[in-house]
Structure 1
Amino acid sequence: MSTEKTTPADGHSYELTRTLAAPAAQVWRAWTTPDQYAQWAYAAPGSVEMDVRPGGVWKATVVTPDGGRFPLTGSYLEVDENRLLVVGMDVPGKPEPAAMTVELEEREGPHTQIVLRQTCDTAEERDSAEQGSTMLLDSLGAFVTGEAKG
């Protein structure tokens, strides 16, 4: 798995690029199937619900390493199977969801290049979101290559 990081000039956006040793369809299923998502995305078993279509909703309860639980909710803003997922994440106190874009591109091997982008309101929010996204991509990469804990 290769890793690349790019932070655009505005300072409140980030972009993470990875190449995973798995076909795009496998990466897509890991990201859009509740039981698979729960295995790599730090979600409590049974807490993940997904209606993967534009306007469909999702929810998951994230479990932190210290045992804290944080319920997350949102909707799917754009869906193009095996290629593009724009996920809206509800943010308390904000009228619009925070959008995270996940692009998949099939490469030879089979490999998949995944590009994750998000724009945040502040540098602090960006840093926190980027750290969380980096952890997710690390875990996703291990999961799709069979290196994840069982």
Structure 2
Amino acid sequence: MTENAGYPYTLTRTLDVPVAAVWKAWTDPEQYTVWAHAVPGSVEMDVRPGGAWKAVMSTPGGDFPLAGSFLEVKENERLVLAMGAPDEPHPAVMDADFTAQGEQTTLVVSQTCASEEERDMTQQGSTMLLDGLTAFLHKS
């Protein structure tokens, strides 16, 4: 992601699973549906540079659609995603970096937002997503 003026945030998680499992959870529509709390059947992913993705996210406040594209894909290493409402002219860009450390994976998610309020809301949403991912991957 190009660094520019704005309001960035970075979240880091160390997960007690191999990087391939974290990658698959993030890029497999069936797994993503579970941990990201998407509406079943709504997730589509064409995981390649330029490939599209979409999902309808289910929240206590109601369902909302997201859509975007994969800007950069390096399997088990890095995803850069554009995302926003399906008709949004300037989607947000999120980086997700996956680092294997033996049987553990460090996942770093970062984004730069246009305002402090947007950053705070987006960071809260990303934290909830990572909480869901962590619970999904660490389930017994």
TM-score between the two structures when normalised by the length of structure 1 = 0.86
CA distance in 1, matches of 2:12, 2:130: 9
Q: Which moved more, 1:133-142 or 1:10-19?
A: 10-19
Q: Residue 117 in 1 paired to residue 110 in 2? A: yes
Give CA deviations for 1:31-69 in whole Å, capped at 9, x if unaligned: 000000000001000000000000000000001124x11
Partner of 1:136: 129
Q: Does 1:73 align with 2:55?
A: no
**What's 2:35 paired with?**
40
Q: 1:99 aligns with which of 93, 96, 105?
A: 93
- Taking the aligned partners of 2:68 and 2:17, their CA distance within structure 1 comes to 27
Tell me the SS of whatever aligns to 2:93: strand
Give the conservation status (yes or no) of the 8 Å contact 2:38–2:55. Answer: yes
Moved over 6 A (4+): none
The answer for the alignment partner of 1:3 in structure 2 is none
C-alpha displacement of 1:94: 5.3
Flag structure 2 segments of 5+ consecutive residues without an equivalent.
Answer: none
| 1:145 shift after superposition | 1.3
1:49 aligns with 2:44: yes
Which residue in 2 is equivalent to 1:6? none
Aligned to 1:16: 11
Aligned-residue sequence identity (percent) comes to 56
Alignment partner, residue 23 of structure 2: 28
User: Normalized against structure 2, the TM-score is what?
Assistant: 0.91
Q: Distance in 2 between matches of 1:71 and 1:113?
A: 28
Q: What is the SS of the residue equivalent to 1:44?
A: coil
User: Quick one: higher RCO (CA 8 Å, sep 6+), 1 or 2?
Assistant: 2
RMSD between aligned residues: 1.6
Corresponding residue of 2:76? 82
Give the whole-Å Cα distance in 2 for the aligned partners of 1:126 and 1:96: 16
Cα distance change on mapping 1:93 and 1:75 into 2, 3 Å: closer
Q: Helix, strand or coil: the match of 2:79?
A: strand
Pair 125,92 (structure 1): closer, same or farther in 2 beyond 3 Å: farther
Q: Specify the code of the residue in structure 2 equivalent to 1:90.
A: G
